Amino acid sequence: MRLTTLLTALMLPLLAAPAAAQGQFSPAITVNNTAISGYELDQRAKLLTLFRTPGNANDLAREQLIEEALKQEEMDRAGIRITAEQLAIEVEAFASRADLSQAQFTGILAQNGVAASTLEQFVKIGVTWRDFIRLRYASQAQVSDADIARSLSQQGGTGDALEVLLTEIIIPAPPPRAAQANAIASGIAETRSQATFEAAARQYSALPSRNNGGRLNWLPLSNYPPALQGLISGLSVGEVTAPIQIPNGVALFQMRGIREVPQARPQPTSIDYAAMQFADLAAAQTAKLSVDTCDDLYGLAKGQPADALLRDDVAPTQISQGIALELAKLDRDEVSVTATGGGAGAQLVMLCGRTYGDGLTDPDALRASLQSQRLEQFAQALLAELRAAALIRS
């Protein structure tokens, strides 16, 4: 009897280890017929942490993998594939952006607990989706000579630029209620009534502007993320954008007015900004009152985790869409505070400055840039449609 008890005690840890490993690879989320394991979620979160991606790495990992599952299903339907040789070239190119070889890059990943296959999957989906969107929407994203002339005129600091009068809604969409938030957003997107949209902003929006029915003042169209500028400028008065996916949320804009004004400067070539995470809105609001410039945030970040404060000066296209939408409303040294994670946390975003260059004056380069923006708009709209129709379980 004692021998049996001893053998049982010795066997339990051996049995538990495989069970734990099996649990790690069990489905944590299903997107239609695609399963996402706990291992994949953990690996993506580690990758995003290593990349210093702003926001909650676990939440972002979940959102990215859900979107990638939707993208992969759509590409499978279209028969889009990438060969092993093409993938190797793309991974090498990705590593070269950090001035590293593929072997050096994957070595750093391994030191931080990230498998090479995790990076390969990240790169594969991004590259294949890019090519798929180009193939599907190439004819619709064509840029005319008139488009080129208009953009060159605006960049030259002469002629007219566009300002837009928008109403905004951002609905929190943390993992437990992402499907519900997207269903609500899809319903709101159907309205053309300003009163109905403003009522929805008061009821659902997580932004401070909800107290004003989501109404914004006139803002230069160039303040908004490049990928959204064409989408916004194409709206008629009363029309609402399709739901726009951002980390842990879904955004909608309604057009209240659009006008041409004399342009004093071109679009920004880079934006210097800071983003800081807080435990709750009260802490973020208190911090907002204590800072006058972005440099003041470094004092607040002392003693906090390394990823609590992000300070970056990058091209507008490299800023995450959620942060970019807040920066669009800010002037230098102004601050925006929003709830994150369904109200469990808060984010402070501060504009440190915008740099204005001479813009793109080469017509071919400008054509490619404008076409890229239009393709991104089509991609965002398609992804919103796929997500609205998807069955997501966790």
Q: Does a structural domain hold residue 260?
A: yes
- Secondary structure of residue 166 in the 3-state scheme: strand
Q: Does a structural domain hold residue 4?
A: no
In this structure, the answer to whether residues 84 and 167 fall within a common structural domain is: no
- Which of 125, 168, 127, 112 has its CA nearest to residue 326? 168
In this structure, the answer to whether residues 233 and 379 fall within a common structural domain is: yes
* pLDDT tens profile 146-168: 777 766 665 554 456 789 999 99
Mean pLDDT, range 375-394, rounded to an integer = 86
What is the structure's pLDDT at 340?
A: 78
CATH number of the domain that residue 170 is part of:
3.10.50.40
Measured CA to CA, the distance from residue 50 to residue 196 in angstroms comes to 43
Mean pLDDT, range 42-65, rounded to an integer = 87
In this structure, the answer to whether residues 242 and 375 fall within a common structural domain is: yes
Q: Does a structural domain hold residue 216?
A: yes
CATH number of the domain that residue 48 is part of:
1.10.4030.10
Backbone angles phi, psi at 302, to 5 degrees: -60, 130
Of the candidate ranges 122-126, 156-160, 253-257, 275-279, the one whose mean pLDDT is the lowest: 156-160
Q: Does a structural domain hold residue 309?
A: yes
Q: Is residue 334 within 8 Å of 350, Cβ to Cβ?
A: yes
Q: Is residue 233 within 8 Å of 224, Cβ to Cβ?
A: no
What is the structure's pLDDT at 341?
A: 62
Per-residue pLDDT band for 23 (boundaries 50, 70, 90) equals low
Backbone angles phi, psi at 144, to 5 degrees: -85, 165
Full domain range(s) for residue 38 = 23-137
Per-residue pLDDT band for 359 (boundaries 50, 70, 90) equals low
In this structure, the answer to whether residues 47 and 131 fall within a common structural domain is: yes
Q: Does a structural domain hold residue 109?
A: yes
What is the structure's pLDDT at 18?
A: 55
Measured CA to CA, the distance from residue 20 to residue 42 in angstroms comes to 14
Per-residue pLDDT band for 123 (boundaries 50, 70, 90) equals very high
Instruction: Inform me whether the pLDDT recorded for 1 exceeds 60.
Output: no
Mean pLDDT, range 198-223, rounded to an integer = 92
In this structure, the answer to whether residues 220 and 241 fall within a common structural domain is: yes
Q: Does a structural domain hold residue 79?
A: yes
In this structure, the answer to whether residues 259 and 125 fall within a common structural domain is: no
Report the DSSP beta bridge partners of residue 353. Answer: 272
Q: Scan for tokens 């993320």, then name that residue.
A: 225
Measured CA to CA, the distance from residue 367 to residue 148 in angstroms comes to 7
In this structure, the answer to whether residues 49 and 116 fall within a common structural domain is: yes
* pLDDT tens profile 62-107: 989 999 999 999 999 999 988 999 999 999 888 887 778 888 989 9
Measured CA to CA, the distance from residue 296 to residue 105 in angstroms comes to 34
* pLDDT tens profile 319-334: 888 899 999 999 889 9
Residue 389: Cβ within 10 Å count: 11
Per-residue pLDDT band for 208 (boundaries 50, 70, 90) equals confident
* pLDDT over 70, % of the chain: 87
In this structure, the answer to whether residues 180 and 302 fall within a common structural domain is: no
Of the candidate ranges 99-108, 139-148, 198-207, the one whose mean pLDDT is the lowest: 139-148
